[in-house]
Amino acid sequence: MKDVTFGQYYPVDSFVHKCDPRMKILFLVGYLVAVFLSADFYGLGACAVVLVLCVAFSRVPVRSVLRSIKGVLFLIVFTAILNLFFYQGETTVVIAGVSLQWGIINITVEGIRFMIFVMCRIFMLVMASAILTLTTTPVSLTDGLESLLTPLKWIRVPVHALALIMSIALRMIPALMDEIDRIMNAQRARGADFSHGGPVKRVKAIIPVLIPLLLSALRRAEELGDAMEARCYTGSQTRTRYKKLTFTWRDPVIGLLCAALIAGVVLMNIYLPPIL
């Protein structure tokens, strides 16, 4: 669980770290739009170049960013298998004279290409989200989100409460990961085995972990509520912030980069022949 990077902040002095959190959130949204607009590998190639630039200018170790894939590895593999076996293509794969087709299962060349395409798309989505959380503190992230959602206050949406919930959730993720690791070590010391046996046995072995984890989460929530009440927290709209969010010269740069990426992907879809 320590390999999961979502919600963890990597402190370092970099170009990406110094950008305004509001612009980083907008950049992530624009990047996701560009990835989903990509109709073939040309668009994904452009998105990959931008992703490499973001990792390079964030100065976050590549290993730390790649660890975020472990949390969705099952989803990537499951999606790849479905697309590989059930994608409706025209050219069936033949290996050593044997056609890879059994009933409704048909492995085609188009299916293999589409499987790789989907895997690359999910990989980029997870990596971009990981860079945002690794380069932005939970407080800055929630402040930026609350600032972007300010217009919703006009229709009486509790923006501040939503931002507070997100901030608490991001802070609780690393704490719960440490708690899971501590509970599993304690269970192993009592003879529990989490790595051997069939799926049913492994699920049964996880139950003694989930119950104390739930109790620990409830205890942490109660302690947090008591601490907020002791500090007279009310969540009123008149609350001020210690740090004010300000745009710098870096923010228009990443904004233009995001706009150029989306425009480039659209133009590639129109003028370049598809290779998917």
pLDDT digits (tens, 9 = 90+) for 41-94: 999 999 999 999 999 999 998 888 888 887 788 888 888 888 888 777 777 776
pLDDT at 1: 45
The burial of 113, by beta-carbon neighbours within 10 Å (0-12 exposed, 13-18 middle, 19 or more buried), is given as: middle
How far apart are the C-alpha atoms of 168 and 85, rounded to whole Å? 41
What would the pLDDT profile of 143-161 be if each residue is shown by its tens digit?
A: 888 888 888 888 888 888 8
pTM: 0.80
H-helix or E-strand containing 50?
helix 41-58
What are the percentages of helix, strand and coil residues in the chain, rounded to 5?
A: 70, 5, 30
H-helix or E-strand containing 79?
helix 73-86
With a pLDDT cut of 90, the percent of the chain lying above it is 32
Q: Where are the beta strands (DSSP E) in 56-193?
A: 94-95, 98-99, 101-102, 105-106
How far apart are the C-alpha atoms of 18 and 276, rounded to whole Å? 38
How far apart are the C-alpha atoms of 126 and 95, rounded to whole Å? 34
Q: What single letter denotes the amino acid at residue 104?
A: I
Weakest mean pLDDT among 20-24, 113-117, 198-202, 237-241: 237-241
How far apart are the C-alpha atoms of 232 and 24, rounded to whole Å? 32
Find out whether 96 and 142 touch, Cβ atoms under 8 Å.
Answer: no
Q: How far is CA 49 from the centre of its chain?
A: 19
Classify residue 243 by its DSSP letter.
Answer: S
Classify residue 70 by its DSSP letter.
Answer: G
Top pLDDT among 240 and 140 is at 140
Find out whether 139 and 21 touch, Cβ atoms under 8 Å.
Answer: no
H-helix or E-strand containing 223?
helix 199-230
Inter-CA distances, 82 with 26, 54, 92, 98, 104, Å: 32, 31, 16, 21, 12
